Amino acid sequence: MRISLVHLLLVAVLTACACDRKPSTPPAKTTASGSPDEVASARPSATGPLSEEEFKAMHQLRTDAPPPLTGAMIDLAGSRAYLSLPKDASGPRPGIVVIHEWWGLNDHIKHWTDRLAGLGWAALAVDLYGGKVATNPDDAMSYMKGLDEAGSAQVMSAALEFLASDPRIKATRRAVIGWCFGGGWSLKTALTHPELDAAILYYGRLESDPARLAAIKAEVLGIFGNRDQGIPPADVDAFDAGLTKAGVRHAIVRYDADHAFANPSNPKYDQKAAGDAWEHVKALLGRTAK
């Protein structure tokens, strides 16, 4: 199974196809408005418009092992994180915080972190569940709903600081990336950390209020599936319109795909869409690194 998965991942990285919609890239950005408290108070329910059972039904997890990992676990703000560095690990170099799905910091997310390190970025995958990793939807739901919001925000701040201060990294350019639960946290971090240069979210919870979105200084890349019932196309439209009105540089790409289509450990993995989305991620990170 491992050989098959490696093959799929390599093909996905090389695959690029036209997406359903061209990215929109307004040139200007406006100054911030909307405090972190206001952002937190507007947080949607954990499962959005779906019931818990409907939301859990969207998520499955295969047991295939990812390719061998190349990073290492480190201590971070009273928690643990997975750090993957490029082979020539000397700063300064760009750094990216990687935010796990609702399953927690499992080996599949660590593999994503290694992929990002392969692009020349120091990649740090945070653990917002305090060491807990779910292998079934019931546990994942429990961990997500029991999240310590304030503690998680502190972990995110510590991760960004680590990337800037660690002598192997000394990042002057920083980004965040996340999927589903992590996609929502990627956006939330961009709303509260104007020092960010790029924010990438795969099918995460969205904000549509231009007054709040104007707080974002980073360039945003949003990646979505048109068959996603948890983040439906109408919500993506509102997010796109809000970013445009707020003057935030951004691109929205969509695919005829389901929720979690970019996760090779999910049965709904769509290799073609995931490959094209990865090309957009690489393009943004390439621009940001310069």
Give the DSSP H or E segment for 163.
Answer: helix 149-165
Range of the domain at 93: 2-289
Percent of the chain whose pLDDT exceeds 70: 77
Residue 245 belongs to domain with CATH number: 3.40.50.1820
pLDDT band for position 88 (cuts 50, 70, 90): confident
**Burial status of residue 48 (CB atoms within 10 A of its CB: 0-12, 13-18, 19 or more):** middle
**Is the full-model pTM beyond 0.85?**
no
Question: Is the pLDDT reported for residue 18 higher than 90?
Answer: no
Question: Is the pLDDT reported for residue 38 higher than 60?
Answer: no
Instruction: Please give the pLDDT value at position 62.
Output: 58
Instruction: Note the pLDDT tens digit of each residue in 99-153.
Output: 999 999 999 899 999 999 999 999 999 999 999 999 999 999 999 999 999 999 9
Query: Tokens 């709904």 map to which residue?
Result: 268
Question: Is the pLDDT reported for residue 286 higher than 80?
Answer: yes
Q: What is the DSSP string of 120-147?
A: T-EEEEE-TTTT---SSHHHHHHHHHT-
Instruction: Please give the pLDDT value at position 264.
Output: 81
Cα–Cα dist 111/107, whole Å: 6
Instruction: Note the pLDDT tens digit of each residue in 191-204.
Output: 999 999 999 999 99
Number of compact structural domains in the chain = 1
